[in-house]
């Protein structure tokens, strides 16, 4: 593999820098916020996505072929076949975003305007936005604090006579506790669509994330584990879902098997298209360059997921030794595909009394000073966003269509966001970082947490 991680690690400062000892054993160091030397040397991170010779070759191949788009074009169809095989689904559709894949899944599942769809309050807005694209109503439920998945009891309580679907999210790449939600969906006759945008290649009880409901959706946006710039994938075993989503992806035109059989590169833009839209549709197709890059990334997916998991375990072992620090759990019944690494903080466990957001922000500042990449990624439950505030206000005068997005309904989401930071960032995520850098994060964290009162006093 020729990729920048090798170049990077051989040119970074690690060889010159002493191996970091984990727990700061003496107080003979100054934090970077106090003028000390940052634990993580500048320039040590590996940038994401890692693009190597395979991606360059793939892109060159597309340019030399001269076919840039088409739902039957070779890179798009190749990606669909390879991804379907990877996750073990009958059908796969490549799209221009994870959001459009989610929208197509809802269309394929027959969700209509006015239907209610249960989504988590802790997710990226796209989960709910796709529901709105279909004219349906997102109903937000709170999450549980271990894996940040929907709380099954709250899902059950949110079901009304209008509910048609549940969309659990495997947030940050750790599969959520899906079994009770899937059982609930079956019991109540609801559609289950998995938002696996952040969990490509993750497994839950031996099954691939995204393959346990009627449909599963993934994002290929640049920060994701298969980074294609922009893009998405929808998988399903259900032929009708596939057929409807396929048509909606291209202006509502039904696909005909003979179109694929007669596809020719020489007439890539012509073909035997019927030009007959049978339903409302969108242009949610992706393009050959993105698909080619995604295929190259797919070949390294296992490599990066394994590296991210090893690093998460290493970091988790160290951080767990610090009282009041809760790194992500890796439960025995699932294999995460770590996309984000969220660490929860409880200062009271080290005898420090302070508001959780103040602790979070002070730790974030101190870690950044130590050279760490640290972000918040979301600061409020999704229903707190202006769009949903406006929707709630607008619905007030319509008892038949009243939506309640009262933030008091999402205490766990709010607590998680108030008291956690995400180590690493989208530009420099966990997966490609060398182990020495991960060790350095543990050291930086231990130093900052051990001196929490001083950190808060800055
Ligand atoms: C949980 C979740 N769902 C859906 C999406 C939407 O994917 P995209 O940005 O490709 O539209 C994202 C992307 O950030 C996401 O994180």
Q: Would you place residue 429 in the very low, low, confident or very high pLDDT band (cuts 50, 70, 90)?
A: very high
Mean pLDDT of 375-392: 97
Residue nearest to atom 8 of ligand 1 (CA): 98
Count CB atoms within 10 A of the CB of residue 265: 11
Q: Would you place residue 115 in the very low, low, confident or very high pLDDT band (cuts 50, 70, 90)?
A: very high
For residue 50, the CA-to-ligand 1 centroid distance in Å is 20
Atom number of ligand 1 nearest to Cα 101: 11
Which of 183-197, 266-280, 293-307, 374-388 is predicted least confidently?
266-280
- Determine whether the shortest distance from the Cβ of 96 to ligand 1 is under 6 A: no
d(CA 391, CA 395): 6
Q: Which CATH code is given to the segment(s) 4-49+300-457?
A: 3.90.1150.10
Pocket test for ligand 1, best of 125, 194, 197, 337 (most atoms within 8 A of CB): 197
For residue 72, the CA-to-ligand 1 centroid distance in Å is 25
Query: Is residue 10 scored above 90 in pLDDT?
Result: no
Query: Is residue 353 scored above 60 in pLDDT?
Result: yes
Which of 1-10, 313-322, 411-420 is predicted least confidently?
1-10
pLDDT computed for residue 4 by the predictor = 37
* 49: preceding bond cis by omega (within 30 degrees): yes
| Residues 411 and 356: beta-carbon distance below 8 Å | no
Q: In this predicted model, which residue has the larger pLDDT, 347 or 14?
A: 347
d(CA 316, CA 331): 12
Q: Would you place residue 3 in the very low, low, confident or very high pLDDT band (cuts 50, 70, 90)?
A: very low
pLDDT computed for residue 24 by the predictor = 55
For residue 44, the CA-to-ligand 1 centroid distance in Å is 28
For residue 219, the CA-to-ligand 1 centroid distance in Å is 6
For residue 174, the CA-to-ligand 1 centroid distance in Å is 15
- Determine whether the shortest distance from the Cβ of 195 to ligand 1 is under 6 A: yes
pLDDT tens digits along 182-213: 999 999 999 999 999 999 999 999 999 999 99
Atom number of ligand 1 nearest to Cα 198: 16
120-135 burial, b at 16+ Cβ within 10 Å, e below that, comes to bbbbbbbbbbbbbbbe
Q: Would you place residue 8 in the very low, low, confident or very high pLDDT band (cuts 50, 70, 90)?
A: very low
pLDDT computed for residue 188 by the predictor = 97
Query: Is residue 257 scored above 90 in pLDDT?
Result: no
Residue 217's DSSP bridge partners are 195, 234
Query: Is residue 15 scored above 70 in pLDDT?
Result: no
Architecture of domain 53-295: 3-Layer(aba) Sandwich (3.40)
For residue 59, the CA-to-ligand 1 centroid distance in Å is 24
pLDDT computed for residue 17 by the predictor = 36
For residue 218, the CA-to-ligand 1 centroid distance in Å is 8
- Determine whether the shortest distance from the Cβ of 219 to ligand 1 is under 6 A: yes
pLDDT computed for residue 29 by the predictor = 86
Query: Is residue 253 scored above 60 in pLDDT?
Result: yes
Mean residue pLDDT of the chain comes to 93
Which of 256-265, 291-300, 321-330, 387-396 is predicted least confidently?
256-265
pLDDT computed for residue 273 by the predictor = 80
Q: Would you place residue 59 in the very low, low, confident or very high pLDDT band (cuts 50, 70, 90)?
A: very high
**Where are the chain's structural domains?**
4-49+300-457, 53-295
Q: Would you place residue 312 in the very low, low, confident or very high pLDDT band (cuts 50, 70, 90)?
A: very high
Mean pLDDT of 240-262: 90
Q: Would you place residue 27 in the very low, low, confident or very high pLDDT band (cuts 50, 70, 90)?
A: low
- Determine whether the shortest distance from the Cβ of 227 to ligand 1 is under 6 A: no
For residue 134, the CA-to-ligand 1 centroid distance in Å is 17
Residue nearest to atom 7 of ligand 1 (CA): 98
- Determine whether the shortest distance from the Cβ of 99 to ligand 1 is under 6 A: yes
Q: In CATH terms, are 4-49+300-457 and 53-295 the same topology?
A: no
Q: Would you place residue 114 in the very low, low, confident or very high pLDDT band (cuts 50, 70, 90)?
A: very high
Mean pLDDT of 240-266: 91
């Amino acid at each position: 593999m020729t990729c920048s991680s090798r170049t990077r690690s051989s040119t970074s400062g690690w060889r010159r820098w002493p191996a970091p000892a984990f727990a700061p054993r003496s107080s003979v160091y100054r934090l970077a916020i106090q003028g000390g030397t940052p634990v993580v040397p500048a320039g040590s991170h590996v940038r994401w996505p890692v693009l190597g010779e395979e991606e360059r070759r793939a892109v060159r191949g597309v340019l030399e072929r001269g076919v840039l788009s088409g739902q039957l074009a070779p890179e798009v169809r190749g990606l669909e076949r390879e991804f379907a095989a990877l996750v073990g689904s009958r059908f796969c559709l490549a799209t221009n975003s994870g959001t459009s894949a989610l929208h197509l899944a809802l269309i394929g599942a027959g969700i209509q305007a006015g239907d209610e769809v249960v989504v988590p309050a802790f997710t990226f807005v796209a989960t709910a936005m796709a529901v709105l694209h279909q004219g349906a109503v997102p109903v937000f439920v709170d999450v549980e604090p271990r894996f940040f998945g929907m709380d099954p009891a709250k899902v059950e309580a949110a079901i009304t006579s209008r509910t048609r679907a549940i969309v659990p999210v495997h947030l940050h790449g750790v599969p959520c506790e899906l079994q009770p939600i899937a059982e609930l969906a079956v019991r109540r006759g609801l559609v289950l669509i998995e938002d696996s945008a952040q969990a490509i290649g993750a497994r839950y009880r031996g099954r691939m994330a995204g393959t346990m409901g009627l449909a599963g959706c993934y994002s290929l946006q640049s920060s994701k584990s298969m980074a294609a710039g922009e893009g998405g994938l929808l998988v399903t075993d259900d032929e009708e879902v596939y057929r409807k989503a396929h048509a909606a992806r291209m202006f509502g035109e039904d696909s005909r098997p003979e179109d694929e059989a007669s596809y020719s590169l020489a007439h890539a833009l012509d073909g035997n298209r019927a030009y007959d839209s049978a339903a409302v549709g969108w242009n949610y197709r992706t393009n050959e360059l993105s698909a080619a890059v995604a295929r190259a990334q797919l070949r390294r997916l296992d490599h990066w997921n394994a590296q991210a998991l090893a690093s998460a375990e290493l970091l988790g072992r160290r951080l767990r030794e610090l009282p009041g620090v809760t790194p992500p759990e890796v439960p025995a019944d699932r294999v995460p595909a770590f996309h984000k690494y969220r660490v929860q903080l409880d200062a009271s466990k080290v005898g420090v009394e302070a508001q959780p957001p103040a602790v979070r922000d002070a730790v974030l500042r101190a870690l950044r000073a130590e050279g760490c990449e640290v972000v918040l990624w979301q600061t409020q439950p999704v229903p707190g966003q202006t769009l949903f505030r406006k929707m709630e206000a607008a619905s007030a005068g319509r008892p038949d269509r009243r939506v309640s997005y009262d933030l008091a309904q999402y205490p766990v989401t709010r607590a998680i966001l108030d008291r956690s930071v995400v180590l690493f960032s989208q530009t420099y995520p966990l997966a490609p970082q060398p182990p020495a850098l991960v060790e350095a994060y543990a050291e930086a964290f231990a130093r900052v947490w051990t001196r929490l009162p001083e950190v808060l006093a800055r």
